[in-house]
Every structure is written in C-alpha cells, then in structure tokens.
C-alpha cells in the first residue's frame, strides 16, 4: 500500500508539470475515429475494484474519487463508477466505466465532461457499437464513438468502446438547449414478460406507477406530467401524435433498428433509448447502447419470434412484424404510427435509404474492416477481452460460438440486404429528379415557387418547409395543374407557391404512389434543402437595451439582469438562424442567437447576463453600465444593426423612438413592448419619480446640479420617511415597504426652489 501511494504521488507530481498548460493537447475531436485515446485512472485505494463493486450494488450512482490522465493531460478528483446491466459482473476484470470529469471541479476534456466506456462484451468483432453509431449519425442525432485503451493504476485493463454521453452537452449540440424534459427509457429491472419502457398506458393515471420504467434526467418534476400527457396522446389519440412526437425521427429510429437488427432496443423489449422534448414541444427518441446490434441480441416479444430468433431468422426479420402480426406486449410507438399508410411508406423509404447507402453497396464491410485494422494491435494487447483474437478476426464474416452464437456481420447483412431489396414497399418508388426554386435570386419577403419533376405515377407529392431549425415542418400538397408555376398541367412537374418568405427556408420533397414512397433529399427530414437570403436594411433592429437593470423586470429566476430587445420592422417572418449578438466590435460572433422566428411587428428579448446555463435566452456577455455597444450580425461578419451607448441609469433604458425606426433616446423601459413615446424630455424634468405608482422601491432622479433635500409626507402633513440629502444629478432609491397603501407628497428643496410631486404606493 505504501509503495503504491508514493509511486502514485510521484507520478501525479510529474504529470502536473506538463498539465498546467492544457493547450498543449492537440485540439482535435476526442471521438475522432482515428484517435484511440489512452485513459489512465489512478485510485489511492488498493481495493478500488471492491469499492466500485459495492457502489454498483448499492445502486445510488455514487462514485469513487480518483484522478485520470487522458492522452497526457491530468484531471484531478474525478468521479468513477461501474455502469451497465448485463455487461457488468463483479467477477470480471474488465467492467464498463463511467467517468465524471466535473465531479468536484468544473473541468472537461476537449469539451466533454462525461466519459462512458463499454467493455465490448457480446461482440467478438469489436466493431458493432462503433460502426452502428457511425451509420446512425447519418440519419438522426446519435452519439459519437471510437475506442480507448484504459489503464487503472498503470495496469492495462483493455480496449474499450468510447461512446459520447447523451447528456446536457449532447442535447445542446443537437437541439439547441438541454433545459427541456428528458427521460432515459430503461426499466429498473428488465422483465421479459412485461411491458418495460414501451410508452404504453397500462400503468394507469397515477404517474408514480411509471417511475420503475423511466428515469427523469432533467431537473423539473413537471417532466413526469409531460411524459404522461405524451403517453396519453400516443395511446388514446394517435391522430394528434404529430403535436407531441417527432414522427419522422421516430420512423428513422425504427428503420435503423430493423436495418441492423438491433433488438436490444424498443423493438425487442422496449428499452435502451432516450426521449427529449425539443423547443417545438415534441418528444424526440435518441438511440443508446448499440453493442449488441447486428443480431448479437436475438430476444423479442414481437410477432412469431416472441421467444427469440435464430441467425437465419434474423436475416429475414419482418420490418413490419409489430404491425403485420402481433406483439406480446403493446408497442404503441410503432403500431400507432405505422397504421397510417403514408407514415408506413415513409418508414420503409427510410429503411431503403439506410440499406442502399450502407449495405447494398457493401460500404459497411469496407468500413468494418478498416475499424478492425485500426484496433488490431490493441485487441491483441487486451488480455481481458471476452473472446479470442481468432474470434475477433473471424466474426467480421463468420459466426463465432460462445455461450450464444454471434453472427458474422457480412454474412448476416449481405443476406439481410438481399431480403429487404424485394420487400413490399421498398422497390418501385417514384423518382424525384429535379427540385428548383424560382425566381433564382430571392430576397426575404418575396413570393417563390418550389417545383419538382416526379416520375413513377405518384398519387401524392408533398412539400415540407419551415423557417427555423427549431420549428416543425409544415407539409403541403404540391400540384401538377399549371397553377403553381409548375408548367403545363399533367407534365410531371409539381409545384407549390410560398408567399412572403422568411430569410431562411428549410425544405424537402416527399412523393409516393399507392405502395412506395421516396424523399428528396433521401435523408430527409434530418437532411433538407435550404434557401437563405439576407433581410432588408432596418428590417431587424436593436429596439431597446437596458444596461443597468436594478428593479425594472426580472428573468425567470427572479434576477434583475440587463436585457436586449430586437424588433421586426418588416412584413415577413425573420429567422434568427445564423445570426449573432455581441458587445465587442472585435468579436461580433461572440454569441450564437437561438433559433427562433420573429414575426412582423413582434419583439424578441434576450438577457445580457453571461449566464448561458439558465433557462431561456441568456447571452454569454454582460453590459458595462458605464457605456458599451451591441452588435447583431450574420455568420459572414456583415452587420445587421449596432448601437453605442454611454452611461446608463437604473430607471431608464436606451431605445428607438419612434418604435423600431427612430433614433436612440433615453426612455422609460418597455420590455418586450412598443416604445411608447416617453422620451428624454420626460426623464429630464427637474425631479423625475419612477415608478409611480410604486410597489416597493421608489427612484427619485434630480436633474440639476445643486445639492438638495428630499422628504416624503402623508397628505395630513406627517413625515413618512426621514429626510435625505443629495447632490444634484443623481438617482436616489427610497424603500417604501414600510409605507401604508395610499397617496403621499414628495418634497424636493434646492436653493430657493421647492418641488412637490404626488406619489402613489400600491403594496
């Protein structure tokens, strides 16, 4: 123990010399596939394994403190625990690990705070998880993944898969915020005879009955009510499910799982996925735990294979089995979507895209071989791997037998591709040959036509479009009748006119005949066409700023922060996608604006408090009340609007008057409302009182240079507050909480002058 302790101290001291300057680390992506990080964990306890085992058994997610060195960079006081379900065992030397870098200190490695390491059990090939995530990322938000060599106290534990955590950072990167309702859909104990996390409503109306099946990952308990509301609509009003569920994202998840035969998922026993509520109010499914894809896991309660299926049966698993046959337990997230014929055709179109882009062309085999070549030496050095090196090389193409049979990936997927190529609903789709926008040069506010040349006897052609990434797509029928700038009636060119367009349009086309559908682009709606145009001069303006907010308006956490108000002067919607705000002329791209739409004549307010972790729109900078600037710009650096301002007062803002178009003047704050004409002339009265009526603090501003005396009296002449002395030109704050409700007289004396103002206290 003593030798270990001193060796540990020496090593940490040595590493600290180099880790003081972490900029020495190459700033590459931690999850770049070519990178195999070296992760060295250090625990001072010799019995660290026993401690981690005991913490796992306790199940409270407690962690063992230690240090970690990642590619030569030291992070002290990290928290470590074992993770997993069937992949963990106290008898194993190589258990899956969860490392929390910010367990004690606010620290991250190349932007990542959590490191999740899987021990590659149930996969002799070592490629199932990494390859599956690589394919999934083409079609939906999914974790990055590569490999890592892991050491504990300088002993090599083995080669792990290194999978990006689905955490707040992941959500912010894919959804723009991580503040919304977020659930991990995994039962506390998997029940092979139960519903698990199937999103069924069998548990009833008592939300506590759902606790064993779903884990709330977001902060607000209100999330449970949102989950129940979602489940209620999905099961009892599926015709409205589009309002609470990203249907397209769900269809992609199902298509992926059936393509790569990933049954350790919703389609098997309803587990191993997340759901996150986007800013548009809809839940999005997110894949997780892909180490048993490619038919490593062959258990399901679906259809005729409710008691499991063989490798041979895996090759021809029906991608509509939960619809065409029966489910032992309900599967509303599949059945209630695919009973809609168009959604069923969309689902099969997604399945065809995955197969064509990865398997029919044999690209997956080339990629799998590349991964095996990349990790070959690390696999050979891993003495704790669960299968032999021969199993590793063989399992790419051939079945490896252990306690169960693990299919050869190419043998499995080549036959799977052949089977699906003739599956009804896959072949014979309409072709979408040309998609055009007219006129060629468009500006925000224009009327445009989007057309597509479609062959293959379509019965429906749809255009889906939106103005901002956080919005839902609006789907409309395209016509071939000569009325939509689509050429002659019946010529195979379908069109739709959109009037008064925003500065950004994202769109895709979907066409179907009576059995098969096709998207353009093929990866829609995760991929889409985009038309961008700059807004007109003065169409979006900085309308008002308050850089010294003490008591005017509070944010959602009841904090009085500085704020910014933007205003849409135009007659069209303005998307903030691709726009930036900054208080620094040398760094105008300081803060990326959230994706939102500002409608004509509407306002958009942002808190300038530097607290981006708070809910809502909070910029990553704060104003200097003694004078500052504000800039709104495009990503190319061109300026949309800007303003400089001098020292700001606590009782006033700096805004345009007339509203939206005028010059900047000092005014009474009008947060999120029209600047209503209270300009500098009112604020420059000799004595200005604000707010009046007052419900707490009263501000008295003396707009002259002489010293003065301030007093407040009741109407019958009694003094309500002690007299205060003031030099001229300053604002005095008077606490009125001890006052009774009613009318008072404010007396201000300076020189030979006296000013009396009536004030009203309302609390």
Domain regions of the chain by residue span: 2-119, 178-350+389-421, 432-520, 540-680, 685-761
* 655-662 long-range contacts, CB within 8 A, separation 24+: 655/543, 655/544, 655/545, 655/565, 656/541, 656/542, 656/543, 656/544, 656/567, 659/543, 659/567, 660/541, 660/543, 660/567, 660/569, 661/538, 661/541, 661/569
pTM, to two decimals: 0.88
Q: Which helix (H) or strand (E) holds 215?
A: strand 215-216
| Confidence band for 16, pLDDT divided at 50, 70 and 90 | very low
Instruction: Tell me the three state secondary structure of residue 17.
Output: helix
pLDDT beyond 60 at 489: yes
pLDDT beyond 70 at 1: no
pLDDT beyond 70 at 243: yes
The alpha carbon of residue 627 and the mean position of all alpha carbons in its chain are separated, in whole angstroms, by 35
| Confidence band for 269, pLDDT divided at 50, 70 and 90 | very high
The whole-chain average pLDDT of the chain stands at 92
pLDDT at position 681: 64
pLDDT beyond 70 at 32: yes
Same topology, domains 432-520 and 540-680? Answer is: yes
Closest C-alpha among 91, 79, 761 to residue 386 = 91
Instruction: Tell me the three state secondary structure of residue 540.
Output: strand
| Confidence band for 682, pLDDT divided at 50, 70 and 90 | low
Instruction: Tell me the three state secondary structure of residue 432.
Output: strand
pLDDT at position 7: 42
Closest C-alpha among 288, 320, 27 to residue 136 = 288
| Confidence band for 679, pLDDT divided at 50, 70 and 90 | low
Alpha carbon distance 120, 554 (integer Å): 50
- Measure Cα distances from 181 to 230, 414, 555, 618 in Å: 11, 40, 20, 19
Alpha carbon distance 89, 262 (integer Å): 23
> Percent of the chain having pLDDT more than 70?
95
More confident residue, 228 or 86: 228
Give the pLDDT mean for 714-734: 83
Alpha carbon distance 531, 56 (integer Å): 51
pLDDT beyond 90 at 639: yes
Give the pLDDT mean for 483-496: 95
Question: Angle at the Cα of 307 (from 303 to 309), degrees rounded to 5?
Answer: 80
| Confidence band for 233, pLDDT divided at 50, 70 and 90 | very high
Domain range 432-520, its CATH number among 2.60.40.10, 2.40.30.10, 3.20.20.140, 3.40.50.1240: 2.60.40.10
Q: Which helix (H) or strand (E) holds 763?
A: none
| Confidence band for 471, pLDDT divided at 50, 70 and 90 | very high
Judge whether 396 and 159 are in contact, CB under 8 Å. no
Q: Which helix (H) or strand (E) holds 682?
A: helix 680-683
pLDDT beyond 90 at 674: yes
Instruction: Tell me the three state secondary structure of residue 446.
Output: coil
pLDDT by residue (tens digit) across 341-372?
Answer: 999 999 999 999 999 999 999 999 999 999 99
Alpha carbon distance 329, 322 (integer Å): 10
pLDDT at position 23: 38
pLDDT beyond 90 at 467: yes
Q: Which range, 168-177, 236-245, 556-565, has the best average confidence (pLDDT)? A: 236-245
Characterise 739 by phi-psi region: left (phi > 0), alpha (psi -120 to 50), beta (else): beta
| Confidence band for 690, pLDDT divided at 50, 70 and 90 | confident
Judge whether 187 and 219 are in contact, CB under 8 Å. no
Q: In terms of CATH architecture, what is 540-680?
A: Sandwich (2.60)
pLDDT at position 3: 41
Rg (alpha carbons) of the chain, rounded to whole number = 32
Alpha helices in 281-433 (DSSP H): 311-315, 321-324, 332-338, 341-358, 363-381, 389-394, 409-421
Retrieve residue 385's tokens.
């791997």
| Confidence band for 535, pLDDT divided at 50, 70 and 90 | very high
Alpha carbon distance 87, 311 (integer Å): 22
Give the pLDDT mean for 683-692: 80
Closest C-alpha among 58, 43, 44, 124 to residue 90 = 58
pLDDT at position 21: 39
Retrieve residue 503's tokens.
């500065």
| Confidence band for 13, pLDDT divided at 50, 70 and 90 | very low
Among 267-271, 622-626, 719-723, where is mean pLDDT lowest? 719-723
pLDDT at position 551: 76
Give the pLDDT mean for 231-248: 98
pLDDT beyond 90 at 140: yes
pLDDT at position 730: 76
Judge whether 761 and 691 are in contact, CB under 8 Å. no
- Determine phi and psi for 417, rounding to 5 degrees: -65, -40
> Percent of the chain having pLDDT more than 90?
77
The alpha carbon of residue 299 and the mean position of all alpha carbons in its chain are separated, in whole angstroms, by 32
Characterise 127 by phi-psi region: left (phi > 0), alpha (psi -120 to 50), beta (else): alpha
Under CATH, which number does the domain 685-761 receive?
Answer: 2.60.40.10
How many other C-beta atoms lie within 10 A of the C-beta of residue 600? 14
Judge whether 372 and 128 are in contact, CB under 8 Å. no
Judge whether 759 and 694 are in contact, CB under 8 Å. yes
pLDDT at position 680: 58
pLDDT beyond 80 at 15: no
As beta bridge partners, residue 147 has 161
Among 15-24, 276-285, 544-553, where is mean pLDDT lowest? 15-24
Alpha carbon distance 220, 400 (integer Å): 47
Give the pLDDT mean for 211-225: 94
Alpha carbon distance 156, 381 (integer Å): 9
Instruction: Tell me the three state secondary structure of residue 225.
Output: helix
Retrieve residue 758's tokens.
């009536």
Instruction: Tell me the three state secondary structure of residue 261.
Output: coil
pLDDT at position 614: 84
H and E: helices and strands count for the chain: 15, 39
Judge whether 652 and 665 are in contact, CB under 8 Å. no
Give the pLDDT mean for 609-622: 90
**Is 289 exposed, middle or buried (CB count within 10 Å of its CB: 0-12, 13-18, 19+)?**
buried
pLDDT by residue (tens digit) across 308-319?
Answer: 899 999 999 999
Question: How do beta strands 460-466 and 155-164 pair?
Answer: unpaired
As beta bridge partners, residue 185 has 273
pLDDT at position 237: 97
């Amino acid at each position: 123990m003593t030798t270990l302790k001193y060796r540990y101290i020496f090593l940490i001291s040595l590493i600290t010399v180099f880790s003081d300057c972490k900029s020495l680390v190459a700033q590459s992506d931690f999850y770049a596939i070519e990178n195999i990080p070296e992760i060295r964990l250090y625990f001072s306890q010799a019995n660290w394994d026993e401690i981690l085992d005991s913490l796992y058994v306790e199940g409270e997610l407690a962690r063992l403190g230690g240090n970690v060195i990642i590619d030569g960079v030291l992070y002290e006081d990290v928290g470590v625990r074992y993770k997993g379900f069937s992949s963990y065992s106290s008898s194993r030397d190589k258990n899956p690990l969860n490392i929390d870098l910010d367990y004690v200190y606010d620290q991250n490695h190349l932007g990542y705070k959590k490191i999740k390491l899987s021990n590659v059990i149930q996969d002799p090939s070592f490629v199932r998880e990494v390859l599956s995530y690589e394919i999934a990322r083409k079609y939906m938000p999914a974790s990055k993944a590569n490999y890592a060599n892991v050491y504990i106290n300088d002993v090599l534990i083995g080669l792990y898969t290194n999978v990006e955590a689905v955490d707040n950072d992941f959500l912010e990167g894919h959804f723009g915020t991580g503040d919304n309702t977020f659930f991990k859909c995994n039962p506390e104990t998997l029940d092979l005879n139960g519903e698990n996390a199937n999103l069924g409503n069998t548990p009833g109306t008592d939300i506590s009955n759902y606790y064993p099946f779903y884990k709330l990952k977001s902060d607000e308990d209100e999330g449970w009510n949102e989950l129940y509301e979602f489940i209620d609509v999905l099961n009892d009003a599926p015709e409205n499910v589009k309002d609470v569920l990203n249907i397209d994202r769900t269809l992609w998840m199902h298509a992926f799982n059936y393509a790569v035969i990933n049954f350790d998922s919703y389609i098997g026993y309803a587990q191993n996925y997340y759901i996150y509520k986007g800013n548009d109010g809809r839940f999005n499914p997110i894949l997780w735990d892909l180490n048993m894809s490619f038919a490593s896991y062959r258990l399901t309660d679906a259809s005729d294979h409710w008691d499991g299926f063989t490798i041979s049966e895996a090759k021809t698993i029906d991608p509509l089995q939960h619809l065409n046959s029966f489910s032992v337990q309900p599967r509303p997230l599949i059945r209630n979507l695919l009973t809609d014929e168009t959604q069923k055709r969309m689902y099969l179109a997604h399945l065809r895209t995955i197969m064509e882009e990865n398997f029919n062309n044999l690209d997956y085999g080339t990629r799998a071989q590349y991964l095996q070549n990349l990790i070959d030496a690390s696999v050979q050095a891993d003495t704790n791997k669960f299968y032999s090196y021969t199993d590793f090389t063989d399992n790419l193409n051939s079945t490896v037998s252990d306690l169960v049979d693990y299919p050869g990936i190419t043998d499995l997927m080549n036959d799977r591709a052949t089977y699906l190529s003739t599956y009804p609903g896959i072949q014979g789709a309409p072709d979408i040959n040309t998609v055009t926008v007219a006129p060629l040069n468009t500006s925000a506010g224009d009327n445009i036509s989007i057309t597509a040349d479609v062959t293959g006897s379509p019965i429906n052609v749809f255009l889906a479009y939106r103005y901002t990434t956080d919005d839902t797509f609006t789907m409309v029928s395209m016509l071939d009748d000569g009325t939509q700038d689509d050429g002659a009636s019946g010529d195979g060119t379908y069109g739709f006119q959109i009037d008064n367009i925003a500065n950004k349009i994202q769109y895709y086309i979907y066409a179907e005949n009576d059995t098969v559908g096709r998207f353009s682009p093929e990866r829609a709606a995760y991929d889409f066409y985009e038309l961008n145009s700059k807004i007109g001069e003065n169409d979006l303006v900085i309308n008002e700023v308050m850089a010294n907010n003490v008591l005017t308006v509070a944010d959602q956490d009841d904090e009085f922060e500085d704020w910014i108000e933007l205003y849409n002067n135009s007659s069209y919607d303005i998307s903030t996608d691709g726009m930036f705000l900054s208080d620094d002329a040398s760094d105008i791209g300081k803060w990326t604006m959230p994706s939102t739409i500002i409608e004509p004549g509407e306002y958009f307010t942002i808190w300038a408090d530097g607290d981006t972790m708070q809910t809502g729109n909070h910029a990553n900078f704060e104003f200097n009340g003694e004078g500052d600037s504000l800039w709104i710009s495009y990503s190319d650096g061109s300026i949309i609007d800007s303003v400089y301002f001098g020292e700001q007062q606590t009782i006033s803002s700096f805004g345009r008057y007339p509203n939206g178009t005028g010059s900047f003047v000092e005014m009474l704050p009008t947060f999120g409302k029209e600047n209503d004409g209270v300009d500098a002339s009112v604020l420059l009265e000799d004595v200005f009182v604000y707010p009046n009526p007052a419900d707490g603090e009263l501000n008295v501003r003396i707009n002259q240079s002489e010293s003065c005396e301030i007093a407040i009296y009741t109407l019958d002449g009694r003094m309500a507050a002690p007299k205060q002395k003031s030099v001229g030109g300053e604002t005095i704050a008077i606490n009125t909480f001890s006052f009774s409700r009613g009318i008072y007289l404010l007396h201000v004396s300076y020189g030979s002058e006296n000013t009396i103002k009536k004030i009203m206290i309302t609390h």
